[in-house]
Structure 1
Amino acid sequence: MLKFMLPLLFLIPMCYSWELVQISVFLLTFMFSAFVGHDFLFSHMGSGLGLDYLGYLLILLSFWITSLVLSASHKVYKTNNFTYMFLVMNMSLLLFLVITFSCLDFLWFYISFEASLIPTLILILGWGYQPERIQAGTYFIFYTMFASLPLLVSILSIYYHSGSASMYLNTEISDNGLVSHMWYVVTVFAFIVKLPMFMTHLWLPKAHVEAPVAGSMILAGVLLKLGGYGLIRVLPMFSYMNKNLSWVWISVSLVGGTIVSIMCLRQVDMKALIAYSSVAHMGLVLCGLVVFGWWGANGALIVMVGHGLCSSGLFCLANMVYERMSSRSLLISKGLLNFMPSMGLWWFLLSAGNMAAPPTLNLLGEVSLIMSVVSWSKVSMIMIAFLSFFSAAYSLYMYSLSQHGKYYSSLFSCCSGKVREYLILMLHWLPLNAMILNGCLLVVM
């Protein structure tokens, strides 16, 4: 694992050259994807780091999204808007993510998990668009820190209880008392806020709306997956308490996902709509994880990867429209087929991916999740039906309102799209649809 971290460390001082960093990250991505043939043993890694297939998939997703982020943030390079610091923040964030997904120790995991907040916050505050980005940054920090400080106490308790903070040496906590249930809630809550679950989601739309395209793409593509990854790691220790309390998370997620989907139908801000749709998708992921079955865990991982690619691509599209129209409002940037006809295809393909249409990964993952949740309780079918219906409804609403209609009268000319932009969108869409041909690549349990 160190052979991929050391190049990232050496890239940080070389951030004065945008092209060099961009090419290097693409090369590291392809080198890491070739690493799949390696045997995933915990030896020869060093420094308490190791890799299993789950970590490998999420690290590969981090490399892929970061390389696309650098291509999508060309405006920062073109306007020379503190380019060196921008690259340093992205490389630091990538390094922390790689460490997080390859930790074998809960304390290491906690430190790198929290460290990833700092570059994200600097991206939002430094390259955001409106003055409200300060409020968004405050929401982002306080929500996540408030939930994750008790996690540190929980990790120290695990160390005291088990004699080790290693992820693979901890025994299951089988006590049935009130303290054990509180311990479970405190541990899980940090990851639930990070997902985020409905009622702890207010930081997400604010952070997305105020963040630059790099912040939005990394936040949607990788940082939301930290919550799911953490749940997969800690839930086996609390299986008994999880069995007693899983109905709480599933009820809130399904009802909340439906409410958020209805809220999407009244959004006029493109980025807010895409951000709220992430809350609905991640709610279903949480249901699959706490059901604690084979179908649920694998379906959650597939949806996490699929959502990372699809949501990142949609934020990239919204930024392309914003760069031309200087507005994210769907009321101003409508009738885009008149101005950017060839971009309409990408809007359609990624909106179809967002509503889990075939042949996207989202469909495969959502079918697995629906099977796991329905097998847990037949009553959940009602809310899942609403969730699926409104998911298709807000995706169609976003596509039709942005592409059709009479265009804004003050617009006279517009560039349809550059080769670089089409390449970024294709690199989002291609893995999202190609990986379904061999779905067992994403099965880890």
Structure 2
Amino acid sequence: MMKFIFMIIFMIPLCFKKNMFWMVQMCMFIMFFFFMNLSLNINNFTNISYFYSCDLMSFGLIMLSIWICVLMIMASENLLKVNFYENFFLFNVLLLLLMLYLTFSVMNLFLFYLFFEGSLIPTLMLIIGWGYQPERIQAGMYLLFYTLFASLPLLMGIFFVFNEMNCIMIYFLKFFNLNYYMLYLCMILAFLVKMPMYLTHLWLPKAHVEAPVSGSMILAGIMLKLGGYGLLRVLIFLQEINMKMNYFWVVISLMGGFYISLKCFCQVDMKSLIAYSSVAHMSLVIGGIMVMNYWGFIGSYLLMIGHGLCSSGMFCLANINYERLNSRSLMINKGMLSFMPSMSLWWFLLLSSNMAAPPSLNLMGEIMLINSLISWSNFSMIFLSLISFFSAGYSLYLYSYIQHGKYYYGIYTFYVGVSREYLLLILHWLPLNILILKVDYSMIWF
């Protein structure tokens, strides 16, 4: 595991040389394929050392992190064209990748907290440094304070766990069971804000709308998954109390997912709509994790991977339109079928994956989550059916609104997609729909 950390660190000097933009991306591609061929024992932790180890969950999320970081660089070619601090941008992406890699691979709970918070700093720099709108400072503050406010109790909780058990190694925590209400709240609140759960989700649409395309991709692709990963790791030693309290979180999540789905129909900004749909999907993930059964855990893992690829691809599409029209408004982005017919195929493919159409990974994840939640309580069927129905609804609403209708006459110059953009979209869509062939790996996990 250490070799990949050194690989990332040794890539950093490349960022500050001239004409190395695509070279850094190629190095990250190579690193991805090295990592993919790592020999793993799927049922358990492997490559264990004092600090690092890897099981299937870490493996999948680290692969997703490297993949999304590669695609972030590909999506940000505009920075290279206008020569807008592209060296510092590459450095920022590598720093973010390093933080994410460490977060997913460390064994120590305190180090996990450290890198979990550390990944905020490069994200904040992305939003404030390369964002488009003047409100980006406010969005950055929202992101920082929501997350930090909820994370301080987590730090206290980790210290308490260490004080009680003299051990904060994730691998050994499964042998313990702590039954304290305050500790339970302290440990999971930070992750629920990060997911984000309904009621603590306000920072997410704000951050997405103000972030550049790379910031949106990493926020949707990886940052939300940090919360799910943290929950899956922490609930192992809080099982007993979680069985008493979980109905509270499941109810908030399912009702919140339904409200947010309705909220999606009110949006007039493409990015805002995609950001709210992320919250609706994550509410299902929280429900699946909280009911603590086998299908729920696996379904939440699959949906996290699927949503990371799907949501990131949709933000790329929104950015492709924004680069043409300098607007993300649904009113101005009408009639795109006349201008970019081949791009509307990609809109269709990614939005159909977003509404969990086969053969996407989202479908597999959602089937498992629906199974797990209904086995927990039959009443959850009502909100699950509403969330599923409306997720198809707002996906179709976004597609039909953008592609059809009379185009805006203020468009005076336009160009269709370039090969880089099609490659970027195919690299989002293919893994999302091919990975379903290898879903058996997830099934024999745990």
Match of residue 104 from structure 1:
107
CA displacement at 1:152 relative to structure 2: 0.4
Q: 1:42 to 1:361 in 2, by over 3 A?
A: closer
CA contact (8 A) 1:340 1:414 kept: no
Q: Does 1:262 align with 2:266?
A: no
Distance 2:91 2:226 in 1: 21
CA contact (8 A) 1:172 1:239 kept: no
- Residue pairs, 1:243-392, within 5 angstroms: 243-392=243-392
Match of residue 422 from structure 1:
422
**TM-score, normalising length: structure 1:** 0.97
Q: Does 1:164 align with 2:167?
A: yes
3-state DSSP of counterpart to 2:412: coil
Distance 1:46 1:354 in 2: 38
1:95-114 Cα deviation digits (max 9, x unpaired)? 01000000111011000100
CA displacement at 1:42 relative to structure 2: 5.7
Distance 1:437 1:44 in 2: 26
Deviates more, 1:160-169 or 1:363-372: 160-169
CA displacement at 1:438 relative to structure 2: 2.4
CA contact (8 A) 1:40 1:51 kept: no
**Counterpart AA for 1:193:** V
Runs of 4+ in 1 over 3 A off after TM superposition: 36-47
CA contact (8 A) 1:96 1:112 kept: yes
Distance 1:46 1:7 in 2: 18
Deviates more, 1:138-147 or 1:432-441: 432-441
Distance 1:370 1:43 in 2: 31
Match of residue 9 from structure 1:
9
List gaps (5 residues or longer) in structure 1.
Answer: none
CA displacement at 1:40 relative to structure 2: 8.2
Distance 2:202 2:410 in 1: 34
1:192-251 Cα deviation digits (max 9, x unpaired)? 000000000000000000000000001100111000000010001111110011011000
**Counterpart AA for 2:111:** W
3-state DSSP of counterpart to 1:394: helix
1:391-428 Cα deviation digits (max 9, x unpaired)? 10000000000000000011134211000000010010
Distance 1:391 1:236 in 2: 31
Q: Does 1:181 align with 2:185?
A: no
CA contact (8 A) 2:42 2:55 kept: no
CA displacement at 1:80 relative to structure 2: 1.0
CA displacement at 1:153 relative to structure 2: 0.4
3-state DSSP of counterpart to 2:334: coil
Q: 1:274 to 1:43 in 2, by over 3 A?
A: closer
**Counterpart AA for 2:329:** S
Match of residue 70 from structure 1:
73
Q: Does 1:59 align with 2:62?
A: yes
1:242-280 Cα deviation digits (max 9, x unpaired)? 001101100000000000000001111000000000000
Deviates more, 1:12-21 or 1:192-201: 12-21
1:1-32 Cα deviation digits (max 9, x unpaired)? 01111010011121032122111011111111
Q: 1:433 to 1:45 in 2, by over 3 A?
A: same
CA displacement at 1:375 relative to structure 2: 0.4
CA contact (8 A) 1:123 1:215 kept: yes
List gaps (5 residues or longer) in structure 2.
Answer: none
Deviates more, 1:73-82 or 1:306-315: 73-82
CA contact (8 A) 2:228 2:286 kept: yes
Distance 1:139 1:36 in 2: 41
Q: 1:83 aligns with which of 86, 92, 114?
A: 86
Distance 2:37 2:82 in 1: 35
RMSD, aligned CA: 1.3
- Residue pairs, 1:386-401, within 5 angstroms: 386-401=386-401
**Counterpart AA for 1:4:** F
Q: 1:34 aligns with which of 25, 37, 40?
A: 37
CA displacement at 1:441 relative to structure 2: 2.8
CA contact (8 A) 1:339 1:413 kept: no
Q: 1:65 to 1:254 in 2, by over 3 A?
A: same
Distance 2:437 2:122 in 1: 36
Q: 2:139 aligns with which of 129, 136, 139?
A: 136
**Counterpart AA for 1:113:** F
**Counterpart AA for 1:254:** L
Distance 2:340 2:414 in 1: 7
Distance 1:44 1:364 in 2: 29
CA displacement at 1:46 relative to structure 2: 4.4
**Counterpart AA for 1:374:** I
3-state DSSP of counterpart to 1:342: helix
Distance 1:361 1:300 in 2: 11
CA displacement at 1:39 relative to structure 2: 7.6
3-state DSSP of counterpart to 1:224: helix
CA displacement at 1:45 relative to structure 2: 5.4
CA contact (8 A) 2:298 2:442 kept: yes
Q: 1:229 to 1:43 in 2, by over 3 A?
A: closer
Q: 2:24 aligns with which of 21, 24, 45?
A: 21
**Counterpart AA for 1:120:** T
Q: 1:76 to 1:45 in 2, by over 3 A?
A: farther
3-state DSSP of counterpart to 1:35: coil
Distance 1:332 1:320 in 2: 14
CA displacement at 1:372 relative to structure 2: 0.3
CA contact (8 A) 2:124 2:140 kept: yes
**Counterpart AA for 1:438:** K
**Counterpart AA for 1:290:** M
Deviates more, 1:159-168 or 1:274-283: 159-168
Percent identity of paired positions between Structure 1 and Structure 2: 52
3-state DSSP of counterpart to 1:165: coil
Distance 2:202 2:38 in 1: 38
**Counterpart AA for 1:100:** T
Q: 1:276 to 1:254 in 2, by over 3 A?
A: same
**Counterpart AA for 2:177:** I
